[in-house]
A and B are shown apart, each in its own frame.
Chain A
Amino acid sequence: MKKYIPFRMGKESISFLIDKKAVWISLLLFVLTIFVFMTSSSIGEAFIPPYDLIQTFLGNGSKFHELVVFSFRLPRIIIALLVGICLAISGGILQNLVRNPLASPDIIGITGGASVAVVIFFMIFSDTSNSLTVSIHWLPVAAFIGAMTTGLIVYLFAWKNGVSSYRLVLIGIGLALLTKSLTTLFMIKGPIYQATQANIWITGSVYAANWSQVQILFPLTVILILITVIMTRNINIQEFGDDIATGVGSQVQLNRLFLLILSTALTACAVAFAGGIGFVGLIAPHIAKRLVGSSFGAVLPVSALIGALIVMLSDFLGKTLFLPLEVPAGVFTAAIGAPYFIYLLYKHRNS
């Protein structure tokens, strides 16, 4: 049986080589995603039986069910899904870019940069009675700016006649540590009440999700995914290192800058709405590579779905396990992610 199927259209202006295994695994993960999506819509403080849930989706549900599903649960689940996709793709791009399976947006400081921006936001825009002087809706903007700024700083500091992947990682790790200490500093300087709020944000959660956030995040995610699809072959060739990439005619430095911006933008979108949910960008692409090999065309859909599953499941566990308490999704991603990271370090200790 053949492993790959060529796909060609319109006098070959569109042509791809499709990995059959990746298609099957993606389909399977897609079904799983729908299952988790439905389960999470039906289970919570109030249980909605599957039949009623389907009726609600079809528009025949009771007013109460409609309120619970459409106003409370769906935006949150959709944000979790989109955030998972963004983080996973961002991590996948970054790992190819720096040629290191241990890289991820949180490790090179991009998420940390967003945290700094968030605590600064709380510090600047709080009045003497600890209430915010601007709308909390500006918080995602601050996080986005913080993430993008850090991404650019990493790039600029790593520049020396071009950017080598090695320098990118080292500078990134250094900067990540710096953002941690800055976050603590600004938290202490800011009002204590806001520190708790900032802390929840830093752990990462999707409680506060609403439809207007979905309206912003959804189109952004779609656009960024499309750009990633177009860049797939450039992402692939980056993993071969400078010499081979240049040899086959890739504009290595230009692509590296563009891909770093793309990866940062994906993470920035995610952290803007869900805070510093960690480890997804590390684990999802790694699991995907174990399933379908390292060709990015196959890794992209598989890691995106795995990322979505991880964040959706974490949020689901967070809202159901300790009822009536809510545990931020970031606690669970870290609970799976940290041991996984240690396992990876252990596995790569010789290379």
Chain B
Amino acid sequence: MSAIQTDSLTLSYGKQIIINELNLSIPNGQITVFIGSNGCGKSTLLKSLARLLKPEHGSILLEGKAIAKLPTKEVAKKLAILPQSPEAPEGLTVLQLVKQGRYPYQSWLKQWSEKDEEAVIRALEKTRMLDLKDRTVDSLSGGQRQRAWIAMTLAQDTNIILLDEPTTYLDMTHQIEILDLLFELNELEKRTIVMVLHDLNLACRYAHHIVALKNQKIYAQGKPEEVINCHLVKDVFDMDCKVTKDPLFGTPLCIPYGKGRCLLESNGAGVLHG
């Protein structure tokens, strides 16, 4: 069974339709990555999968049940979402932030059970944030801050984790660090991970399943090595490129044409293509 499924899902902001009649199935226990050009609706789609946005038509099934009909706390025990560049309240410590992930398990007077404590400590350990737990979130570096937020979603103890561009504003080292962390969570704990990524090459490396969106629809989906080619990149991103194999991983590597200094003998790469 798929983790999340959409049934002729239509999403809109006001009158503008963003996603039209979409049927999508997110495979259980795998990493799925949404790609597409700016404003193609990948973030909107991700939000709606986490019930943050009500669909215009159609429905979303979480493990086979309509998400709109499930109590929101029950959904929060199965699915966690990390929105794009979230902001923590001023002066909040890492521990207080991560603690919020336990919300669906708490009640009026039961606000810090031993289970809560264990889950928070585990989340802090996995993200290597335990030593920083008493620091305030605003005093952390970009990479640490993102790890703190991921720790919060981990404390929620869900099988499915959705992340909207978890690597934005991070330098290359920290991008890899975050993606490695998510990859490990998938490998070791079989968690289903769905994310939006901008970097096509990293998407190809980390995703088991890639979904390319274009014109309110799915343009193509499948294993990156089977769907990513220069035609797809041209159609989806309107960019000319050459797709080769990543010399380290063997996954698809997309090298754009364009201007720039070309040190090779006239192979046409350095001139404006087309």
A positions within 8 Å CB-CB of B: 3-4, 6-8, 12-17, 96, 99, 101, 230, 232-233, 236-237, 239-244, 246-251, 289-290, 293-295
Given the complex, which residues of B lie within 8 Å of A248, measured CB to CB?
76, 80, 100-101, 103-104, 156
**Complex CA–CA separation, A295 to B104 (angstroms):** 18
A249 adjacent to B110 (CB under 8 Å): no
B52 adjacent to A242 (CB under 8 Å): yes
Given the complex, which residues of B lie within 8 Å of A289, measured CB to CB?
90-91
Apart from A240-B100, A249-B75, A293-B92: 17 A-B pairs, beta carbons within 8 A: A15-B109, A15-B111, A15-B116, A233-B103, A237-B100, A239-B89, A244-B86, A247-B81, A248-B76, A248-B101, A249-B73, A249-B74, A249-B76, A293-B91, A293-B96, A293-B136, A294-B90
User: Interface majority SS on A: helix, strand, loop or mixed?
Assistant: mixed
User: Interface majority SS on B: helix, strand, loop or mixed?
Assistant: mixed
B89 adjacent to A294 (CB under 8 Å): yes
A230 adjacent to B76 (CB under 8 Å): no
A240 adjacent to B80 (CB under 8 Å): no
Given the complex, which residues of B lie within 8 Å of A239, measured CB to CB?
89
Write out, one digit per residue, whether chain B residues 70-113 have a CB within 8 A of any chain A CB (1) or not (0): 00111111001111001111111101100111011010111111
Also in contact, A237 and B96, with CB within 8 A (given A14-B109, A15-B112) = no
Also in contact, A17 and B52, with CB within 8 A (given A233-B103, A248-B101, A250-B103) = no
Given the complex, which residues of A lie within 8 Å of B106, measured CB to CB?
233
**Complex CA–CA separation, A195 to B76 (angstroms):** 55
CB-CB nearest 6 A-B residue pairs: A249-B76, A249-B104, A248-B103, A249-B73, A17-B112, A293-B91
Q: Whole-angstrom distance from the CB of A246 to the nearest CB of chain B?
A: 5
Given the complex, which residues of B lie within 8 Å of A4, measured CB to CB?
95
Also in contact, A8 and B111, with CB within 8 A (given A17-B99, A293-B136, A294-B90) = no
Q: Whole-angstrom distance from the CB of A227 to the nearest CB of chain B?
A: 10
Given the complex, which residues of A lie within 8 Å of B89, measured CB to CB?
96, 99, 239-240, 294
A17 adjacent to B47 (CB under 8 Å): no
Q: Whole-angstrom distance from the CB of A254 to the nearest CB of chain B?
A: 10
A12 adjacent to B113 (CB under 8 Å): yes
**Complex CA–CA separation, A189 to B47 (angstroms):** 54
Residue on A nearest B72 in the bound complex, by CB: A249
A243 adjacent to B91 (CB under 8 Å): no
Contact sample, A vs B, 11 pairs, CB 8 Å cutoff: A12-B114, A13-B109, A16-B112, A101-B90, A236-B100, A241-B86, A246-B51, A247-B76, A293-B91, A293-B96, A293-B136
Residue on B nearest A14 in the bound complex, by CB: B109
Q: Whole-angstrom distance from the CB of B262 to the nearest CB of chain A?
A: 43
A249 adjacent to B103 (CB under 8 Å): yes
Residue on A nearest B109 in the bound complex, by CB: A14
Given the complex, which residues of A lie within 8 Å of B99, measured CB to CB?
17
Flag whether B117 is at the interface (Cβ < 8 A).
yes
Also in contact, A12 and B108, with CB within 8 A (given A240-B88, A293-B92) = no
Q: Whole-angstrom distance from the CB of B5 to the nearest CB of chain A?
A: 20
A244 adjacent to B104 (CB under 8 Å): no
Q: Whole-angstrom distance from the CB of A185 to the nearest CB of chain B?
A: 38
Also in contact, A237 and B103, with CB within 8 A (given A249-B72, A293-B136) = yes
Given the complex, which residues of B lie within 8 Å of A230, measured CB to CB?
108-109
B75 adjacent to A3 (CB under 8 Å): no
A16 adjacent to B111 (CB under 8 Å): yes
Flag whether B134 is at the interface (Cβ < 8 A).
yes
**Complex CA–CA separation, A8 to B114 (angstroms):** 9
Given the complex, which residues of A lie within 8 Å of B75, measured CB to CB?
249
Flag whether B50 is at the interface (Cβ < 8 A).
yes
A246 adjacent to B136 (CB under 8 Å): no
Residue on A nearest B93 in the bound complex, by CB: A293
Q: Whole-angstrom distance from the CB of B73 to the nearest CB of chain A?
A: 4
A240 adjacent to B86 (CB under 8 Å): yes
B91 adjacent to A294 (CB under 8 Å): yes
Q: Whole-angstrom distance from the CB of B103 to the nearest CB of chain A?
A: 4
Residue on A nearest B77 in the bound complex, by CB: A249
